[in-house]
Amino acid sequence: MSELKNLFQLISLPKFSDSRGSLSFIEENEHVPFIIKRIYYTYNIPSGSTRGGHAHKEQHELLIAINGSLEVILDNKNSRKSIILNSANTGLHIKPGLWHELTNFSNDCILLALSSCKYDANDYISDYDEFKEF
């Protein structure tokens, strides 16, 4: 399991709350241990859907459930771990070489992703057998 632990990290983001609501923020190289090259988000995910199902060769990602919740299944070929993201001030840093699947989305889930790379189809390993060889 320690080998798997080295490939991801849960990061607590600052949170300030008062009678007007809550505010969280993310600063590059402060809360995110990489330079941010791309930001994307998913929403309106149909019940029962699974996303992800790949690993990256070089890309780092920080996933944040800014609304609702989801389950992230992490796999390093030797072991698997399930993590529930359900807090707008907690990010999951996924390092390169870690297979991840996203599932069990709540109806109101909005998932924000920060990436260290611009989109490059060649960085994705989408076949699990190929991933095991990587």
Q: What is the pLDDT, as a whole number, of residue 84? A: 98
DSSP SS3 for 2: helix
Residue 2 has pLDDT above 70, yes or no: no
Question: Which residues carry out catalysis?
Answer: 54
Q: Any idea where the domains of the chain sit in the sequence?
A: 2-14+28-133
Q: Average pLDDT, stretch 109-114?
A: 98
User: What fold does the segment set 2-14+28-133 form as a domain?
Assistant: Jelly Rolls (2.60.120)
Per the prediction, the chain carries an average pLDDT of 94
Rounded to the nearest 5 percent, the helix, strand and coil shares of the chain are 10, 45, 45
Residue holding tokens 């909005």?
Answer: 110
Closest among 116, 101, 125, 114 to 60, alpha carbons compared: 116
Across 3-7, 55-59, 69-73, least confident range: 3-7
Structure tokens belonging to residue 123: 């960085």
pLDDT band at 6 (very low <50, low <70, confident <90, very high): confident
Question: pLDDT tens digits for 67-103?
Answer: 999 999 999 999 999 999 999 999 999 999 999 999 9
Give me the count of residues in the chain: 134
- The confidence score (pLDDT) of residue 30 equals 87
* Eight-class DSSP state of 19: T
Q: What angle do CA 38, 44, 46 make, to 5 degrees?
A: 120
